[in-house]
Amino acid sequence: MKNFFRKKGVRVAIVLVAVLAVILASALIMDSGANVADGSVRTLTGPAERALTWVVRQLEHVYGYMFKYDELVEENAELRAKILEMQDEVRKSESTNEENALLRQLLKLSEVRPELDFEMASITSWSASTWSSSFVINRGTRAGIELYDCVVTETGCLVGQVVAVTGTTATVRTLVDSSTSIGAYIGRTGIAAVAEGDYDTMHEGVLKLSYLPDGALVYNGDTVLTSGSGEVFPPDIVIGEITAMKVDEGGFTEYGIIEPAVQLASLTHVFVIKDFTYTADDSELPEGTELPSEGEPVEGGEGAVVPDEG
């Protein structure tokens, strides 16, 4: 519309001048006092005057719109900016509320497990590899995170273990990863075993409970916890529960299927256990198990998640 009046402005002005001339002539005739002529002119110019009045009003609306258009555009931009700012504040508020809820849960856990030192972290990305299950968090050595630290939820359920760390980030391998191997026991009976992952179970989101003693009574719904053997994982961290018992391909060895207590897909924040007081004694370990030095994983053995090479 603005471009139209810029291009056609001269023509529009000429038309307006002509119309105004007609009106002026009509006014002069009416002032002359010629009654007959006056009536004739009124008859002729009446419709034109009414049409002109309508045109003028429309032009006033158009020009009013044109003059206010820039103001409306500016106002619209300001309103959009305010909406974006409000949406950002809402997101920050929701994030803060979520973090506060997590911290309240962690406080309860800390009261129950005062020997554990926690560091909260946010998940920044997940691995796209089909050969592993891992994610990256926004905390690293500057926050006191170390290699092989245990990672849990705010309620103390096992998530995984730190397998790579930089100054500001760390990579966490989840408990269902095919390389997972954790010293474990069944809460109901205290039977020791190993919670481990493999490629097939990883894609199902579960892990196996292996190396069960002959004749062990394991039932669906039994809770599986970390044993603390090897001093890599703190003891009594909930891994999950038994959902099925199966026999290997040879038909001789029985193992359980563990459904993790954590819903990995819904995680946004985790808690890294930076330190803990080890309280287990050697009598609780399976016969023949040797304790490594503090912080050292057992390569391929019970109680460790083997880190990526390189």
pLDDT band at 80 (very low <50, low <70, confident <90, very high): confident
Q: Which two tokens stand for residue 45?
A: 């110019």
Give the separation between CA 174 and CA 305, rounded to whole angstroms. Answer: 9
CATH number of the domain at 116-305, please?
2.40.10.350
Give yes or no for residue 283 having a pLDDT over 50: no
Lowest mean pLDDT among 136-150, 192-206, 270-284, 287-301: 287-301
- Report pLDDT digits (tens) over 258-280: 999 999 999 999 999 998 876 54
Greater confidence (207 vs 229) lies with 207
- Report pLDDT digits (tens) over 89-130: 666 555 566 667 666 776 777 787 888 898 999 999 999 888
Lowest mean pLDDT among 58-67, 150-159, 193-202: 58-67
> In sequence order, which residues have a C-beta less than 8 Å from that of residue 115 and are 6 or more positions away?
234, 276, 277, 279
